[in-house]
Amino acid sequence: MLSKNNILITNKEIVKKVDIHTKKLIVRTIDHKNTNKKYICDIVVNVSGPLNVENIKNEIPLIKCLKSNGAKVSSGGFLVNNNFAIRGIKNTYTPSILATGFNPQRKTIFTAILNNSFLVGKSIAKNLLKV
């Protein structure tokens, strides 16, 4: 519904860098045609993985940027609240296997990510209605 009403825009791209500037997220990506893009966002939802975000040596740029901007991590992934918002960074979500405890019922990964993404969507909608 949010996508249909152009309130929420979804892109399938590789995130190279995320910066925070004056309460906005600046996201630099590369698409499937190797075109560099830049977005100024209110929220970012990540659905990538698997990765031990605490101990990895060669971090993908997204993980490095999130950690350097204050994302809280443990050996199991990013620390998130019940709506999969990353603790330490406002309006940034990860409903996938990068979140600590993303699949406690041991559902298939696809089912868990879809269910978690539904929770993220509800949280985003609730936040947008406050604005």
Q: Which domain holds residue 76?
A: 44-130
Per-residue pLDDT of the chain (131 residues), as tens digits, is 566 777 667 777 888 888 888 778 898 989 889 999 998 887 777 665 555 655 555 567 778 888 889 999 887 788 998 888 899 998 888 877 677 776 666 666 667 777 888 888 888 888 887 76
**Tally of domains within the chain:** 1
Assigned domain for 62 exists = yes
Assigned domain for 119 exists = yes
Number of neighbours of residue 77 by Cβ within 10 angstroms: 23
Assigned domain for 16 exists = no
The span from the CA of 12 to the CA of 37, in Å, is 12
Instruction: Name the region of 70 (left: φ>0; alpha: ψ -120 to 50; beta: rest).
Output: left
Whether the CB-CB separation of 46 and 94 falls below 8 Å is answered with yes
pTM, entire model: 0.51
Assigned domain for 61 exists = yes
Assigned domain for 118 exists = yes
CA of 21: how far to CAs of 8, 43, 78, in Å?
A: 20, 13, 22
